A and B are shown apart, each in its own frame.
Chain A
C-alpha cells in the first residue's frame, strides 16, 4: 500500500537557519503530495501542495518540489522564525472508492526554532 516516510524529530534550529525536512513516499499511480502544519493545540492547516511531477509548491517562504525519480517531496525554508515552530506532516493523496480522496500521512516532524 501507499506510505510516507519523513525524518524523525524534533528538529531544533536557531532563528534564520535553513530548514530541510525530508519526505519520501511509496505509491502506485500518480498521487498528489501535500505538506500540512499543526501548531500547538490546533488542527492541521495546508501549507503547500503539488499535484504532478516537477511541480513546486510554495507558501509563506516554504517550498517543496515533487520529484518522481526520487519519490521525494522535501520541505525547505531559507530562514526560519520562532513562529514556524510546529509539527509538519507530509502526506500523499489517493482516490477513494466511491469518490473523495484519502490522505496517507507521515508520522510528523516537530520543529523547534529558538532565538
Chain B
C-alpha cells in the first residue's frame, strides 16, 4: 500500500523558474494538504483541499497555486520560485469530511526537498 506518494524527491531551481510538485494518494481520502517544513518552525499549511473540487488557502499561501486534479491527486505549483521557497514540502491526506474530522489521522508523504538558488 503506497499511501501518499509525491514527486520529485529532490529539485534545484533557479530564481524565477517554475515547477509543479505532484502528489497522489491511494487511500480514497477526501481531504488533501500541502505543508512546508522549515528549520525551527515545524510544519506550516500552504493550501488544502477539503474535498474534490475545492481548494483553500492555509497559513502561508503566497507564491503558490494548487490544483485538485481528481480525488487522488493534488499538485502544488511554484510560478516564479524565490530563495525563500527553499524548503521541504510535504503532501498529506485525511479521510473524513466535516463533523468529526479533527480526530482523524493525517497521513504524510515522504517529502520533496526543494532548493531555489
- Give Cα distance in the complex from A36 to B105, angstroms: 10
- Give Cα distance in the complex from A54 to B111, angstroms: 33
A81 within 8 A of B: no
A49 within 8 A of B: yes
| Chain A, interface SS category | strand
B106 within 8 A of A: yes
Flag if B110 contacts A42 (CB, 8 Å).
yes
- Give Cα distance in the complex from A42 to B58, angstroms: 23
Flag if B50 contacts A100 (CB, 8 Å).
yes
Q: A87 to chain B: closest CB distance in Å?
A: 10
A12 within 8 A of B: no
- Give Cα distance in the complex from A105 to B40, angstroms: 11
Flag if A43 contacts B56 (CB, 8 Å).
no
Q: Mark A74-111, 1 if CB is under 8 A from B, else 0.
A: 00000000000000010001111111111101111000
- Give Cα distance in the complex from A101 to B32, angstroms: 10
Q: List 19 A-B contacts (CB under 8 A).
A: A32-B103, A36-B108, A43-B4, A43-B90, A43-B110, A44-B90, A46-B106, A46-B107, A89-B42, A93-B103, A96-B101, A98-B51, A98-B54, A99-B101, A100-B33, A100-B97, A101-B94, A102-B48, A105-B43
Q: Which residues of A lie under 8 Å from residue B108 when comparing CB positions?
A: 36, 43-45
A22 within 8 A of B: no
Q: Tell me the residues in window 1-46 of chain B with beta carbons closer than 8 Å to chain A beta carbons.
A: 4, 30-31, 33, 40-45
Closest Cβ neighbor of B113 among chain A residues: A41
- Give Cα distance in the complex from A86 to B50, angstroms: 30
Q: Which residues of A lie under 8 Å from residue B94 when comparing CB positions?
A: 100-101
Q: Mark B73-117, 1 if CB is under 8 A from A, else 0.
A: 000000000000000001000100110011111111111000000
Flag if B102 contacts A94 (CB, 8 Å).
yes
